[in-house]
Structure 1
Amino acid sequence: MAETFRDQKAMNVKRGKTVTEIIDERIKWMKVPVKKPDGEMRPRLESWENTASHLNRLIRPRLGKKLAMEVTKHDIATLSNDIVAGKFGKPSVSNARHMRKAASGLFNWAAEAGRDYVTASPCVNLPKLDPEHPRTRVLSADEIRIFWHGLDRNDLPYDRRTRLALKFELVTMLRSRELLGAHRDELFDLDGEHPRFDVPLKRVKKRRVIQQPLSDLAVEIIKEALASDDQQFVFESPMYKGQPVHRKAMADALRGTKLEKNKDKTKTPGLCELLGLKPFTPHDLRRTAATLAGDLGFDDASIAKCLDHVASKKSEQIVPTVTGKVYNHSKRMKEKRAVLDGVAAELRRIVAGPVAKALAQEGATARRLIAYADRF
């Protein structure tokens, strides 16, 4: 009888937890280091920072004080509708989708045996969200030319390695997170016939090793970025020696950065604004390179391999050291190398093209920079 009373009391405590309490516990659980397939210890959920951001920004303010047991499907649906309607900032179907995913993970986790904070997840049979329209931004040849030459100027307010990283994304089709952590140990045969960059699975979206062939243009960028023999990261942070540039550095450089100082908000214009270009993101550089490859006649399957859009059980295996570094020059690598070499040659042709428009644009950029400097 006493044992039953204690069990009931413990269950009441569990069922009395608020959403804020289970969010805190969930984030702590996600951050715990565990051994991964490659043998490294990393957070249990490697994308925990993004999930934590969605929990903290989108769920905690509205539902935090509510008992987790009392959250209903209606609460989640209403919150979702409010996010879409712009009651949490800019209207966003994407944020509503992120919120639902984070909430579903939270409540499914809370309902697991041993926790029993809730009896079931309220994130079921919710109304379907409107479809999201994928981005289609692709830089034109003139925009590529202006952008490339603009990145070589020394009067822009962003460090050289961040600008080189932007070039590198356009040349290699790699994702920002995959390339920004590039380390000397991940580069092979830079002076040989088969230069390659091996991205470890911990930085890859699909959690598999990427072996990306490097064109001569990509090698040039790497060699410029590696300014000294003791520099370990290709795109080293200008502020923190021995560390790569921040994962948001490229996006911030394109769109500009806001700074709060003495209660005043100031903004450093982004490269897009300074160069007079329609706004775009680092990911749009991948799309631009893929479009160039398509225009050159390469098939979708080969381009997809360069973008790491092809998944198979075989590709998810960790590449053995000797095989990966010495013998792996498979047909897949040859196809990717042909595409990336073709893109590099096309970029060289575009960049070396007529400069009249670029020069006119440069004059407009100079005026923007003068206006920017005059504010200080």
Structure 2
Amino acid sequence: MATTLTAAALSNLRVPPDKRQIEVFDANTKGLSVIASAGGARAFFLTFTDPQTGKRARRKLGNFPEMSLATARARAREGRGQVADGATPLPPPPPAGITVAELVESYIERGMRDLRSKDAVARRLRVNLAAPSIAGRVAAASLSRADIARALDLMVDRGALAEANSLFRNIRSLVRWARGRGEITDDLTFGLKPPARSQVRERALSAEEVAAFWSGIEAPLRGSMVRLLRFTLATGARIGEVCGLRFDEIDADGVWHIPADRSKNKRGFALPLPSIALEILGEQRAYLATHYGRKDRSTGAPLVFAFPAPGGIEAIDHGAPSKALKRLQTNNGNKIGLPFGIQPFTPHDLRRTMATHLAIAGKNDFDVGLVLNHISTTRSSITSSVYIRHDYLSEKRTIMTLWDARLRELAGLPPPADPAGSS
């Protein structure tokens, strides 16, 4: 059927319950049609007689509303002009041979080589988009917004709201990468919103909770995991940076040099370690020497927070601390608090806890940003980002010394031993 299309009519276009899709031709522009699917997707097409083959053919112009009706009409007229000149109009769609599952694997191999969270993203895409029961068998060129919406809805229905938002971001990156390579023609995520409302976390442990955490964490957890979580609170570092820590990143002056390739903002960062953190490192070194006495089997560089594995020791995965805490503080999916008497928290909340208690102790945003490696605070102007080349190492040492004293007070720990042995 043909009718004069309008934006309002396109928005209100409905597919009858007994049909999978309908096609409506535009009476205003010859050959232009819109195909509406039962899932809610709407796409513009140009139908024409191919001057090269003499057969009827169709070219997709774009999705509505990302492409406006006016633009679709202009593209359709352009295509018909090319037909009149004896040429096949508009770029043909990409081959339908590659499936979504194959596209995801190509993205994992080629598009995520330098991504720190590659393993987590790969797992999320494989399980929640590329599975055969979801969209894995769909031709990449035919992937629709409805397919993506369905994948997200399945996660939301399971109650995995944060994971659904992460999947949305991962699919958006996948689609944009694939579009740049010509694997798909449209940005299918344009205009889509994250499936769940993001909540800014505000959790920081109180003084009483810090004491309960420090003394109580040893009962339900053991060994490296206990020291890793305590080290995270003692340094305020990101959990991924802590999990990847190697002994050779710490110099003789007790400064932790986080390499750029392991830093979230891709900048190398030097953090003077407080005495509590150095004590934890000493305990962990002795623990590894006593129990394993081995090195990382892949590079030979000594790992800090590790567990035994066949043929050597391996670093604790950056997702393991969150999983360990989640197991302790849930029962059949319901939050029940931790066995040592405080409400649920995440490893990242330990970083927020240090920042909060430094602020309580009188440190300003710039000081806190220095030790958290927040360039949005410490490199927020042309002057600070381009002209000031000072490393602020002395200032950071002062801040971490203050935090060391405060954390010892909160956790009920004795003052650090005098390195000279004097009274």
Q: TM-score, normalised by structure 2?
A: 0.63
Please name the residue that 1:146 is paired with. Answer: 212
Deviations 1:57-109 (CA, angstroms, capped at 9, x unpaired) = 332242222222222334434544x257x32x1151x3333223222222223
Which of the numbers 374, 385, 405 marks the counterpart of 1:345? 405
Q: Distance in 1 between matches of 2:396 and 2:254?
A: 12
Q: Which has the higher strand share?
A: 2
Rg bigger for which structure?
2
Q: Which runs of 5+ in 1 are unaligned?
A: 32-42, 259-265, 318-328, 354-376
Indicate conservation of the 8 Å contact 2:328/2:338, yes or no: no
200-209 vs 305-314, which deviates more?
305-314
Q: Distance in 2 between matches of 1:220 and 1:350?
A: 17
Alpha-carbon offset, residue 22 of structure 1? 1.3
Indicate conservation of the 8 Å contact 2:207/2:410, yes or no: yes
Higher relative contact order (CA 8 A, sep 6+): 1
Which of the numbers 176, 181, 188 marks the counterpart of 2:239? 176
Amino acid at match of 2:107: R
Which of the numbers 164, 179, 182 marks the counterpart of 2:227? 164
Amino acid at match of 2:175: F
Indicate conservation of the 8 Å contact 1:254/1:271, yes or no: no
User: 3-state SS of the aligned residue for 1:138?
Assistant: coil
Alpha-carbon offset, residue 252 of structure 1? 3.1
Which of the numbers 220, 239, 243 marks the counterpart of 2:314? 243
Amino acid at match of 2:224: R
User: 3-state SS of the aligned residue for 2:341?
Assistant: coil
102-111 vs 230-239, which deviates more?
230-239
Q: Against the structure 1 CA distance between its residues 131 and 181, is the aligned structure 2 distance closer, same or farther, given a 3 Å change threshold?
A: same
Please name the residue that 1:98 is paired with. Answer: 166
State the aligned residue count.
Answer: 302
Q: Which has the higher helix share?
A: 1
Amino acid at match of 2:222: D
Indicate conservation of the 8 Å contact 1:290/1:303, yes or no: yes
Pairing 1:302–2:367 present:
yes
Indicate conservation of the 8 Å contact 2:165/2:194, yes or no: no
Q: Against the structure 1 CA distance between its residues 118 and 314, is the aligned structure 2 distance closer, same or farther, given a 3 Å change threshold?
A: farther
User: 3-state SS of the aligned residue for 1:212?
Assistant: strand
Q: Against the structure 1 CA distance between its residues 106 and 235, is the aligned structure 2 distance closer, same or farther, given a 3 Å change threshold?
A: closer
Pairing 1:23–2:117 present:
no
Indicate conservation of the 8 Å contact 2:232/2:347, yes or no: yes
Alpha-carbon offset, residue 25 of structure 1? 2.2
Please name the residue that 1:333 is paired with. Answer: 393
Indicate conservation of the 8 Å contact 1:138/1:284, yes or no: yes
Amino acid at match of 1:101: R
Please name the residue that 1:121 is paired with. Answer: 187
Please name the residue that 2:85 is paired with. Answer: none
Q: Against the structure 1 CA distance between its residues 130 and 22, is the aligned structure 2 distance closer, same or farther, given a 3 Å change threshold?
A: closer
Q: Against the structure 1 CA distance between its residues 310 and 97, is the aligned structure 2 distance closer, same or farther, given a 3 Å change threshold?
A: same
Indicate conservation of the 8 Å contact 1:73/1:124, yes or no: no
Q: Distance in 1 between matches of 2:222 and 2:308?
A: 7
Runs (4 or more) in structure 1 with deviation over 4 Å come to 127-131, 311-317
Alpha-carbon offset, residue 164 of structure 1? 0.9
Please name the residue that 1:69 is paired with. Answer: 141
Q: Distance in 1 between matches of 2:216 and 2:164?
A: 37
Indicate conservation of the 8 Å contact 1:111/1:121, yes or no: yes
Pairing 1:58–2:58 present:
no
Q: Against the structure 1 CA distance between its residues 69 and 242, is the aligned structure 2 distance closer, same or farther, given a 3 Å change threshold?
A: closer
Indicate conservation of the 8 Å contact 2:233/2:351, yes or no: yes
Please name the residue that 1:48 is paired with. Answer: 118
Please name the residue that 1:279 is paired with. Answer: 344
User: 3-state SS of the aligned residue for 1:274?
Assistant: coil
Please name the residue that 2:179 is paired with. Answer: 111
Amino acid at match of 1:185: D
Q: Which runs of 5+ in 2 are unaligned?
A: 1-51, 54-87, 295-301, 414-423
Alpha-carbon offset, residue 172 of structure 1? 0.4
Which of the numbers 261, 265, 283 marks the counterpart of 1:224? 283
Deviations 1:274-313 (CA, angstroms, capped at 9, x unpaired) = 3122111111110111111000000011111211111559
Which residues of 2 match residues 78-97 of structure 1 at below 5 A? 78-80=150-152, 82-83=153-154, 86-87=156-157, 89-92=158-161, 94-97=162-165
Indicate conservation of the 8 Å contact 1:234/1:244, yes or no: yes
